[in-house]
Copies of this chain bind each other. A is one copy, B any other.
């Protein structure tokens, strides 16, 4: 980087560093704003889903499931089942009824 500015312990023209800092902050803030918009959009989609009679919680669960590493999911399931079995809560055939 040709503009190696503001390194600790080196004297520099502060103005340049400040401009650069302004740029950094600007870009981050813009990105965060955009991000907030996306989050709002997601919310809206779920709200619309709810309005159309969908069970939002279930839809969220689906999205989460799909985004999950299948291996991790399997592992979590295994632990859960192990605990259930340990407690005599048989993960029985009824599950698929």
For A11, what are the chain B residues with a Cβ–Cβ distance below 8 Å? Answer: 92, 95-96
Q: Mark A12-44, 1 if CB is under 8 A from B, else 0.
A: 111111111110110111011011001101100
Q: Interface SS of chain A: helix, strand, loop or mixed?
A: helix
For A10, what are the chain B residues with a Cβ–Cβ distance below 8 Å? Answer: 92
- B54→A21 contact, CB < 8 A: yes
Q: How many interface residues does A have (CB within 8 Å)? A: 71
For A13, what are the chain B residues with a Cβ–Cβ distance below 8 Å? Answer: 85-86, 96
- A6→B58 contact, CB < 8 A: no
Identify which of A38, A57, A66 gathers the most chain B CB atoms within 10 Å of its CB.
A38
For A48, what are the chain B residues with a Cβ–Cβ distance below 8 Å? Answer: 24
